[in-house]
Amino acid sequence: MRLDRPVVFGNWKMNGLRAEGLALAGTLAERAVRLTGTLGIFPPFTLIHAVAQRVKETAILVGGQDCHERASGAYTGCVSAPMLADSGAKAVILGHSERRHGLGESDALVRAKLRAARAAGLLVVLCIGETEAEYLAGARSARLAAQIDGSLPEGIGPEGLVVAYEPVWAIGTGRTPTAEEIRATHREIRAMLAKRIVGGDSVPLLYGGSVKPENAAEIMALGDVDGVLVGGASLDARSFWSIYQAGGGA
């Protein structure tokens, strides 16, 4: 799957009933028949099928926000990677901080999920990011290196992989690292990926955490930033589209 820049993904999190989700997808679909970049939306499981149907004439990518590490079985309430693919998803977000920190997911579990998602042919958006305490203690690089090392299966290639740097303290807070910090951190992540994966320097890198129409252009102009992963601002079609345009997308 070719991901042209800018890569702008919207994580709807646990938001969206059928009417509003389809309205949002419909508004985006009207603008996105042809795209110069890559636009993706990640609705809750309940809307994946309907949203995928709604945008099927467009280049918009639809994905899930998580998957189980097994393909099927006695796992009440869980959704597997083949199920996501079967409902129309082409991608999945894994290792989001709301699952790592909110639900206690370990690097080892994220790695198992990543393997399952790739086996099902899904593009994986792997999220990594330090907590505020780690940031203040100067432990950011160590945390990111550990997450990259622990979350990526041995022998994985760069195809079908996107990495999103989302500082935990920037998610939903209105606070972001400085442009210089984002640039330097992305450069570091690029180098870590190049060391860990053959061809790893070609993996698209997204920044996530309080991305808004107002700061999107500055962030996406930075070297080693290929796009953004947007939470709150992706729930409004106009904001999400202006973020996409701010990155040069049309």
Contacts with ligand 13P, residue ranges (CB under 6 A): 11, 96, 166, 171-172, 208-211, 229-233
Query: Shortest approach of ligand 13P to residue 199 CB, angstroms?
Result: 25
Which residue among the candidates 69, 98, 134, 166 is catalytic per the annotation?
Answer: 166
Nearest approach, Cβ of 155 to ligand 13P (angstroms)?
27
Respond yes or no: is residue 68 known to be catalytic. no
Is 31 or 96 the residue whose CB approaches ligand 13P more closely?
96
Alpha-carbon gap, residue 71 to 209, rounded angstroms: 31
DSSP string, 27-68: HHHHH-SS-SSEEEEE--HHHHHHHHHHTTTSS-EEEES--B
* Choice between 201 and 236, CB closer to ligand 13P: 236
- Considering the candidates 96, 130, 134, 186, report the single residue annotated as catalytic: 96
Give catalytic status of residue 96 as yes or no: yes
For residue 6, what are the contacts with CB-CB under 8 A and spacing of at least 6?
Answer: 37, 38, 220, 226, 227, 228, 244, 247, 248, 249
CB of 198 to ligand 13P, least distance (A): 28
**Residue written as token pair 């690292």:** 177
Nearer to ligand 13P, 32 or 93 (CB): 93
Catalytic residue IDs: 96, 166
